[in-house]
Structure 1
């Protein structure tokens, strides 16, 4: 069987303590990220082989994490306060397969929707600061 079901993925926010205590961010629907990327630098020269461009790798950007959630002021307004914090906050995201992504990030977007005929919603976006760490899912016993 190919693929894994993403249902049950959980995003948690650290409280800043040592050790950090992570609280789930509730009512989350769709997750995206971290979606990092690497810069490349063109190092093509007149003597590059076969008229092909040559590149070397540059800095890596940890990317962004974005979530869509069913907005609840009691659960989400504490996160809104992170706009005032110029320092990254610790987060972790765990998939149902047991994969754990830990990262620090700055809240860069908090977009709320209050429709006339539907549920309140919010899209939250964070810029990852530094390198995320990934703990792979345990290998099932044979």
Structure 2
């Protein structure tokens, strides 16, 4: 059984989370500059078996696609051409950033630490992955 990897795609930074090999535990992996996302994934896939990649699907409150969706669609095409054997699935990520920020508060992180946007992105990816594991 391979890992499940979740991506919280952003135009500047992308948060990444991953499960253990038994797909029981979701953990934040890292945040990378979006411009280096494909090379990072290529390197990661060369050392870890990944069975599925989840990509957050940002939506407005009314369910319409968020503005970043255009960039995500382009990334998905590139991802599929680079990694045709790795299936992808879209996951609704509404409120994941707000939940990530609340998680940081609940964890007792100081205000300065909560301003770390890279950490928010990584926690958001973890929340996307946790939601997927819980609902499947």
Larger Rg: 1
TM-score if structure 2 supplies the norm length? 0.29
Normalised by the size of structure 1, how large is the TM-score?
Answer: 0.28
